């Protein structure tokens, strides 16, 4: 019998949030799910969010450009940060989406190379790196 091979490792691509919804709104959502418009409440909420993001896409693009934000996922690895340190520079990280500081980045390296960090979305980094950069997060 053959084995199942994962073609692409599944990484975290979502962040869980909690919202409070009024009973009447929740009833409308449940009715739409019951009538087959959406598979479940989550499908409805994701669709509503995407529609609003699309509706304001041009304003978002302009604001992101004005604020010099990288859009999407931005990964900062040890090699990149070591090169920044060797060059005597520092980074001002600005990301709209997901910023990832690799697990092999030490708190000392992060403090030596990251002057500021602004993330609209989510930051993935070790607890020690987050603590080391706490005073530089906006």
pLDDT band at 12 (very low <50, low <70, confident <90, very high): low
pLDDT digits (tens, 9 = 90+) for 15-29: 889 999 999 999 999
In the block, tokens 């199942």 appear at 4
- pLDDT, one tens digit per residue, over 48-89 is 999 999 999 999 999 999 999 999 999 999 999 999 999 999
Q: What are the boundaries of each domain within the chain?
A: 23-55, 60-136
Q: Where are the alpha helices (DSSP H) in 22-126?
A: 23-34, 41-55, 57-66, 78-86, 107-113
Work out the pLDDT band at 8, boundaries 50, 70, 90. Answer: very low
- Residue 3: predicted pLDDT: 46
């Amino acid at each position: 019998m053959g084995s199942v091979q994962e073609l692409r490792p599944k990484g975290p691509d979502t962040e869980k949030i909690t919202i409070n919804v009024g009973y009447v709104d929740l009833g409308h959502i449940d009715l739409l799910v019951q009538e087959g418009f959406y598979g479940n409440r989550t499908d409805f909420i994701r669709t509503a969010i995407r529609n609003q993001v699309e509706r304001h896409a041009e304003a978002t693009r302009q604001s992101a450009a004005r604020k010099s934000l990288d859009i999407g996922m931005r990964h900062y690895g040890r090699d990149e940060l070591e090169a920044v340190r060797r060059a005597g520079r520092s980074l001002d990280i600005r990301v709209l989406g997901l910023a990832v500081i690799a697990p092999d980045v030490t708190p000392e390296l992060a403090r030596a190379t990251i002057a500021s960090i602004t993330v609209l979305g989510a930051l993935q980094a070790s607890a020690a790196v987050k603590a080391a950069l706490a005073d530089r997060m906006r």
